[in-house]
Amino acid sequence: MPSQKTVQDYIRTIPDFPHEGILFRDVTTLFQDARGFRLAVDQLLSPYVGTSIDRIAGLEARGFILGGAVAHQLGKGFVPVRKKGKLPGKTIEQDYVLEYGHATVEIHDDAVEPGQKVLIVDDLLATGGTAEAGIRLIERLGAEVVGCAFVIDLPDLGGRAKLSAMGVPVHAICSYEGL
């Protein structure tokens, strides 16, 4: 009987992308395999089954793919947290620092309601800048972030510690130690 593949088995590593010395963890190979993708979605949502959640927020861009699938499986609505200038309606924005510079994300000002419980989903947790910005946007609208779920955690970059210090529980399917 062959051994079962893990989510990590479907993720390829690309050296020196986007800069020399970086080991890029590419989830597109996970997405293109039906079994791998289902395994990842199931493992992302499993800690939250039966939990009171009103919306799933996905962080641009791979978080849209994963968050949409998680929202579908949980029977919840989906909220995109997008790069500045990409949403058509009235938005609020949040600046943040990421691994390679600065950026701004936005959310529609009516995407969540006060008191709603939101789960944030993305593919990768590195420094935590994007997730922190998403948390701040959701909280500014009066909703509560009940957790953040990621396929990959890069613990050496400090993102998990940053989000935990904000009081937000973090769930990651796999992690890669070292840079």
Q: What is the dihedral of CA 125, 24, 40, 174, to 10 degrees?
A: -60
Find the length of the chain. 179
Helix (H, G, I), strand (E, B), or coil: what is residue 100?
coil
Interval 83-136: pLDDT, tens: 999 999 999 999 998 666 799 999 999 999 999 999 999 999 999 999 999 999
Backbone φ and ψ for 111, nearest 5 degrees, come out as: -70, -35
Backbone φ and ψ for 159, nearest 5 degrees, come out as: -65, -45
Q: Judge whether 79 and 60 are in contact, CB under 8 Å.
A: no
Question: Could you list the active site residues?
Answer: 62, 99
pLDDT for position 179: 60
Global confidence as pTM: 0.95
pLDDT for position 130: 95
Interval 32-85: pLDDT, tens: 999 999 999 999 999 999 999 999 999 999 999 999 999 999 999 999 999 999
Task: Judge whether residue 163 has pLDDT over 80.
Answer: yes
Topology at the third CATH level for domain 51-175: Rossmann fold (3.40.50)
Tell me how far apart the alpha carbons of residues 123 and 136 are, in angstroms, rounded to a whole number.
19
pLDDT for position 99: 63
